[in-house]
Amino acid sequence: MNQGKLPRSGLGSLVLIAAVVGGGAATFAYTAGWLSPGRLTPERMIAALTPPSGPPLGHRRNHAKGICFTGTFEANGSGAELSRAKVFAQGRYPALGRFNLGTADPNAVDATVRVRGLGLMITTADGEEWRMAMINPPFFAVSTPQAFHDLLIASGKKDPEAMKAFIQANPEFGPFAAWAKTAPWTGSYAEEPYNGLNSFVFTDAGGGDHTVRWSLLPSALPIPISQADLEKRGPDYLEQEITERVRTAGPLRWTMVTTVADPGDPIADPSKAWPENRRKVAVGTLIVQRIEPERDGPCRDINFDPAVLPQGIRVSDDPFPAARSSVYRKSYDLRAAEARDYPRTETAKP
């Protein structure tokens, strides 16, 4: 890659944008029809994610560049009205996560990647886990896993007519392209909101169901910068900045806000944002306390599979969690088998 010139921040640089990496539960994939004959398969999706230079051996097949963090999730108790999941009972729970970029290149220049992500795992005392993968756009690029696959294929072709044909067939891509072109860049992972764009069902103590999406909203004030200014700060500035910020300023905080759907809201289409007037409940605070490089860090071998859920939360009719889960599993198997291509250092912790 020519690091002296940034690629156009339009369609060609916006295609590796979903957290379609890691491992997961094939059961969910089967029930969603993901593995049915004639349907899209994890192998086909991973092939579409693979750049012409080859797969990033030892790394996640997408969102390959990232850095680990540990901290806590402080539940304020308000989430208990929506879900009986123990993670919403007032208290503090261990959190493990990963800031990342939406690219298949683990050596990508920060300023060439439009989408930023956050993977998170929260664990309760009895071992239940809630895993999730969020990104900073307010809505997803496309409405179905097949459309995402088609986007990857079209964007990889040299013929410009391929993307034109894709956009004509998938008009929901238009709002995402507009976001990518006009939304401000920031110079820190700490200044980004992270959105769980898929819908899940929360079940409360009385058995009532609530379809929700959630977001992590930063306490840090976003400071817009240009793409060119970000490039000047260096190819790995985001990892360096978040490490230094936590070291000098202390823990970072995000408020977790759940949004509850009204009847008729598009549950199965993450490319459609829900109206702003929907009910919102702040359920707690993510506190990032320590940053560690991924190579030897605690997030290295964690798959932030959205189908790993505690009791009181389940998948909805949204097809993406099932699709992502099956691709995560295949990706994890691949990178685990390639560990020698991304070796831990001699100072790695046990």
**DSSP code of 281?**
E
**Residue 343: what are its φ and ψ, rounded to 5°?**
-70, 145
Q: Is residue 63 annotated as part of the catalytic site, yes or no?
A: yes
Residue type at 166 in one-letter notation: F
Task: Determine how β-strand 129-135 pairs with β-strand 209-218.
Answer: unpaired
Q: Which of 302, 343, 309 is nearest to 60 (CA)?
A: 302
Q: Which letter does DSSP use for residue 296 in this model?
A: G
DSSP letters spanning 14-27: SSS-S---S---HH
CB atoms within 10 A of CB 155: 17
Q: CA–CA separation, 326 vs 307, rounded Å?
A: 9
Residue 328 among known ligand-binding residues: yes
Instruction: Mention every residue, 6+ apart, whose C-beta is less than 8 A from residue 317.
Output: 199, 267, 268
H-assigned helices in the chain: 26-31, 42-49, 145-155, 160-169, 173-182, 227-232, 237-249, 320-337
Catalytic residue, chosen from 59, 63, 149, 210, is: 63
Q: From the annotation, which residues make up the binding site?
A: 328
Q: From the annotation, which residues make up the binding site for heme?
A: 328
Q: Which residues are catalytic?
A: 63
